[in-house]
Structure 1
Amino acid sequence: MKQLYIKQKVFSLGGKFTVKDQQERDVYFVEGSFMQIPKTFSIMDTTREEIALITKKVFSFLPKFFVEVDGREVLTIKKEFSFFKARYTIDAAGVEVHGNWWDMDFQVLQHGKVVGKVSKEWFTWGDSYQVQILDQEMEGVIIAIVVAIDCVKADQAAASSAATM
């Protein structure tokens, strides 16, 4: 089992942050596009080779995010129409997310087998997540799922604050 940690910088305009291992070494770099349409997040390894790309669909009635890992689309996160509480669904072939993914406390399953676990670190400055990788081959997908869900949450928070102005 491998433990990784994601800690976002609270005041990062472009959405830049790193994924670290237990020894606090950088394992992945995440960079969000700044003032670019469509909004994207690129996940790169230590050689700066892109392993995953998250793209927010433009010109969509409801928000939709596409997640690509190693050049192939692995999942889509989309907002469902509802009058009260925001509801999102995750569509992925063979990959499921069980638990409270809105609060970042969930398991990632592939064909019914748990391949990763995510939990939010409380009492930290900014958002911090602990990610347990149980299947090494799914590491890129799991990191992409965590970043994508966090991107959806940030998008929802921005939309909510804009609506109250």
Structure 2
Amino acid sequence: MRELFIKQKVFSLKEKFTVKDAEQNDVYYVEGSFMKIPKSFTIMNAAREEIGLVTKKVFSFLPKFSVEVDGHEVITIKKELSFLKARYSIEAAGIDVRGNWWDMDFQIFQRGEVIGEVSKKWFTWGDSYKVQIMKEEMEKTLIALVVAIDCVKADQAATSSASTT
């Protein structure tokens, strides 16, 4: 099992952050597109080669995010029509997310087997998550999924704050 840690910087205009291992070595770099449409997050490995891309779809009735890993779309997260509370669905071939992903406390299953767990670290400056990876060949997909969920949460928070002002 491998543990990775995502810590976002609170005051980063370009939305850059890193994914570190247990020894605090940078494993992945994540960079958000600054003032671009569509909004996207590029995930790069330690050699700064792109391994993943999270993109918010522009021409969609309800918010929709696509996740690519190694150039292939593997996950779609979309908002469902709901009147009381924001509701999202995650579509991925053979992957199921169970738990409270809105609070970043969930497990990721592939064909019934746990392949990853995510937990939010509380009382930290900025958002911090621990990602436990049980199936190492799924590491890039799991990191891309966590970044995508965090992107969905940030988009929902921005939408909520805009509608209350």
> TM tier, shorter chain?
over 0.9
Alignment-derived partner of residue 158 in structure 1? 158
The count of corresponding residues between Structure 1 and Structure 2 is 165
Partner Cα separation in structure 2 for residue 82 and residue 13 of structure 1: 32
Partner Cα separation in structure 1 for residue 96 and residue 12 of structure 2: 30
> What is the TM-score normalised by the length of structure 2?
0.99
Alignment-derived partner of residue 56 in structure 1? 56
* Aligned-partner residue type, residue 2 of structure 2: K
Alignment-derived partner of residue 40 in structure 1? 40
**CA-to-partner distance for each residue in 1:19-42, whole Å, 9 max, x for gaps?**
000011100000000011111100
Unaligned runs of 5+ in 2: none
* Aligned-partner residue type, residue 43 of structure 1: I
Percent identical across equivalent pairs? Answer: 72
Post-superposition, which runs of at least 4 consecutive aligned residues in structure 1 deviate over 4 A?
none
Q: 2:96 matched to 1:96?
A: yes
**CA-to-partner distance for each residue in 1:33-76, whole Å, 9 max, x for gaps?**
00111111000001001111000000211100000001111110
How big is the shift at 1:12? 1.0
Q: CA RMSD in A?
A: 0.6
Alignment-derived partner of residue 4 in structure 1? 4
* Aligned-partner residue type, residue 64 of structure 1: K
* Aligned-partner residue type, residue 163 of structure 1: S
Alignment-derived partner of residue 65 in structure 1? 65
How big is the shift at 1:112? 1.2
How big is the shift at 1:6? 0.2
Q: Counterpart of 1:74 in 2: which secondary structure?
A: strand
